[in-house]
Amino acid sequence: MSDEVKKGLLGIVVDETTISQVMPDINSLTYRGYAVQDLCEKCNFEEVAYLVLNGELPNKNQLKKFKNQIEKNRNISINLREIVKHMPKKSHPMDVARTIVSVLGLEDKETNDNSPKANMRKVIRIFAKTPTAIAAFFRARKSKKIIPPKKNLSFAENFFYMCFGKVPNKDIVKAFDVSLILYAEHSFNVSTFTARTITSSLSDIHGAITGAIASLKGPLHGGANEEVMHMMNKIKKPDNALKWINNALKKKEVVMGFGHRVYKKGDSRVPTMEKYFKKVSKINGDKKFIKIYDIVKSVMIERKNIHPNVDYPTGPTYHLMGFDTDFFTPIFVISRITGWSAHIIEQHAANKLIRPLSKYSGPDHRKVMLLNQR
């Protein structure tokens, strides 16, 4: 057995999956074989969620049934609504999201049933209810009345409605829908691997998703979209951008929203998200964030040959849509529930306890001295 340590499991293949991969020959993230950029242009988020969970794109009848299942399960209990209302207003929304899924697990009668059919029923409930509860906190912490879900609205439209009391124009909704598709799944990233690790002990799906949310919160993973916005707010205006980024590189600071361990030629999701970022900017009459975006991007590519990842255009897009910065990653959550759930189901189907080894580098064997001799 090799004693070589692979920090962060770099380059280690630990299992196989049928859910997604980055195809090197086309440098594209694919879900079940479909290029994600094609899915963005030809499908809505519900179609892609069905694909990720079931392995195939739905026909009209399957999609209608799937949407009906989601709509029927959107309402949250009075208990959960009251819990959300009484959470500290200064709580980070990702901590709230984590707690929401835990409470859903306490309320669900099938929590401990890990059979495939029960897990799929629970997936639908978690997928449908989590956005409702997160939107409830979006309102509650501003001391605004909680808005329940509305019938006959799409997944994206309904989230806007529950947060703001209205649905924006179709181009804004499409941009949001695209972001959900791009965030839905990404193979064995740290939160997905966390979910699969928890699942490997035969724990329940709510626990696995709770752990995944905790993992996603970190700025080196899902929290990067928040850090991008913090960076842009520090820069303040386009005139400061060139000086700021050059100074950051001089100090060898980490510039959030750039680089990705999986992509060698740039994140394949960026061109699509960038396209919709620019559309939203045009609708909002924004020039500031687009200019900052372009300056920082060009310097990073020119000086470091490091390309942006999907969090870079997504952060300012969500900002222009009216979402608070600390809600960017919870939006990521409501999308990624699909990918996590698919991996949890896949892990159960051919489970083996995930238990890696470690190389010990502590003190050699020592004898214990009595307390009065130490």
Catalytic positions: 221, 260, 311
Sheet holding 20-23, edge to edge: 20-23, 28-31, 34-35
SS3 content of the chain, % helix, strand, coil (to 5): 60, 5, 35
In our burial notation (b when 16+ CB lie closer than 10 A, e otherwise), range 82-104 reads: ebbeebeeeebbbebbbbbbebb
Q: Which of 183, 180, 185, 182 is nearest to 158 (CA)?
A: 180
Contact 227, 318 (CB under 8 A): no
What separation in angstroms does the CA of 147 have from each of 137, 159, 163, 222, 348?
10, 10, 7, 26, 36
Distance CA 136, CA 124 (A): 19
- DSSP letter at 262 equals S
Element (H, E) at 34: strand 34-35
Q: Which of 159, 146, 143 is nearest to 74 (CA)?
A: 159
CA pseudo-torsion sign 212, 216, 221, 222: positive
Structure-token pair, residue 363: 């003190």
Q: Which residues contact 235 (CB under 8 A, 6 or more apart)?
A: 241, 244, 292, 296
